[in-house]
Amino acid sequence: MDFLSDWLTGWLKELLIDGILGNLEGLFDTVNAKVGEISVQVGTAPADWNAGVFSLIRQLSETVILPIAGLILTFVATYELIQMLIDRNNLHDIDYWIFFKWIFKTAIAILILSNTFNIVMAVFDVSQSVIADAAGLVQGSTDVTPDMLAELETTLEGMDLGPLLGLFMQSMLISVAMPVMSIVIFVITYGRMLEVYMLTSLAPIPVATLSNRELGGTGQNYLRSLFAVGFQGLLILVCVAIYAVLIQGIATDGDPIGAIWGAMGYTVLLTFMLFKTGGIAKSVFGAH
């Protein structure tokens, strides 16, 4: 009986060890790939990210939204002229220079509106230039290396059946959680670029209000939102750089399972902070 019990225990231990190592092998590969893509994604200009979508957005902005913005600008310019006339003692005291001032402001507003798409792209060119300069900060990896697995296997062989069963359940949980984290990272990075495209497509409407003192708050807030989304990429890059440094700090940990749990914890933290980057960027630029 003792022989049979020892054989069964050894067989179960070997089965659990193989299962644990199988769950952990290549565990962080998908997350590493997504993290590595972040610097590429946030460093890509809207025109280069997807040429087909960019062309569609530009055509939509210039052929559908721009005429609507032209009507809004007509209203704003008329409202501006009425304000100028009323401000001069309700038409009793009129200086003819205000008409030249109005013509000049309207001409500038038309010039800005007709070049809205180029102005928006210039904003993103500035942010992409800053992101490109900071891209060298991202380095490091969270790979579960063969050396770590060999060390872990040695540790597992000296453990009893009960703790091995607990570690097997932990490894199962980690193997399920990490792909979820990679999907979340994908959604955040690609979602930012879709937000860029949506902001770009509607740009002429808020830009049409910029020339008026009272109505211009809409356009000013839009520009702040534009800068916030552009520089959100820099904050995402900073998060990834911090993540890489933290991961490197646990890579030499003596406890392989503890190191893997630590890496998972940092990945969850990275995901949480990526969600926060949009709000932080808007608060910095005063957008709402």
Going from N- to C-terminal start, the domains of the chain cover 2-62+119-285
What is the C-alpha separation between 178 and 185, in angstroms, rounded? 11
Predicted confidence at residue 71, as pLDDT, reads 93
Give me the pLDDT at residue 97, please.
75
**Who contacts 189 (Cβ-Cβ below 8 Å, separation ≥6)?**
34, 37, 38, 41, 42, 236, 274
Q: At what angle do helices 29-42 and 217-250 cross, to 10 degrees?
A: 140
pLDDT per residue as tens digits for the range 171-222: 777 777 777 777 887 888 888 889 899 999 999 999 999 888 888 888 889 9
Whole-number pLDDT of residue 175: 72
Check if the beta carbon of residue 131 is closer than 8 Å to that of residue 43. Answer: yes
pLDDT tens-digit map of 51-104: 888 899 999 998 999 999 999 999 998 888 887 777 765 555 667 777 788 888
pLDDT at 68: 93
Contact 215, 79 (CB under 8 A): yes
Task: Please check the confidence at residue 1 and state whether its pLDDT lies above 60.
Answer: no
Residue among 63, 77, 58 nearest 210 (CA): 77
| CA–CA separation, 208 and 211 (whole Å) | 7
Mean pLDDT (whole number) for 142-151: 59
- Tell me the C-alpha distance between 66 and 208, whole Å: 9
Tell me the C-alpha to C-alpha distance, in Å, between residue 20 and each of 25, 63, 100, 154, 264.
9, 58, 79, 12, 16
What does pTM read for this prediction? 0.76
Q: Classify the C-alpha dihedral 113-118-124-126 as positive or negative.
A: negative
pLDDT at position 91: 55
In tens, the pLDDT along 221-276 reads 999 999 999 898 888 888 887 877 777 666 545 566 676 677 778 878 888 888 88
- Average pLDDT value over all residues in the chain: 78
Least confident of 52-61, 118-127, 141-150: 141-150
